[in-house]
Amino acid sequence: MSETADSRRRGIVSMIFATAVLVFAGIGFVYKMTEFAATIVKQDIEGFGAVAIGVYLTGVVPLVFLTLWAIMSGRFRDIERPKYRMLEIHDELEDELEGELEGSARLASSTRIGR
């Protein structure tokens, strides 16, 4: 099997797995939100559900919108590229540092010879 077909198959499997995880997490979230909403109406623990729902919404809604923005703007198209770019930058910095060290060594040796 070619690399592109294998890569495509892995991408499809990853997408199916991510979708399944999100569906199960969403079901659990909706269940918990419904449970908290039910506590609001009960007289014995008044207000408990309101605080929990507020905290959940304050934390989850921005994350949902941030994730949707990242997906729609293409931030997850090539998730491997930053790793390789970081290694390229590291190599560039090492080459630059080696050049500076060689230049300093030449300067130091020429200064000693001139004296």
Residue 29 contacts residue 60 (beta carbons within 8 Å): yes
pLDDT digits (tens, 9 = 90+) for 31-82: 887 877 777 776 656 566 666 777 777 778 888 888 888 888 888 888 888 8
Q: Is 12 helix (H, G, I), strand (E, B) or coil?
A: helix
Domain of residue 110 covers 79-115
Same structural domain for residues 102 and 47? Answer: no
Number of domains in the chain: 2
For residues 84 and 49, membership in a common domain is answered with: no
If asked whether residues 6 and 26 sit together in one domain, one would say yes
More confident residue, 56 or 84: 84
| Separation between Cα atoms, residue 24 and residue 36, nearest integer Å | 18
* Model confidence, pTM: 0.38
* pLDDT score, position 88: 94
Average pLDDT, the chain: 79
Let me know whether 30 and 83 are in one domain.
no
Is 68 in the same domain as 91?
Answer: no
Residues 6+ apart with CB under 8 A from 33: 53, 56
Q: Which pLDDT score, from 0 to 100, does residue 93 have?
A: 92
Looking at residue 48, what is its pLDDT?
64
Q: Are residues 102 and 71 in the same domain?
A: no
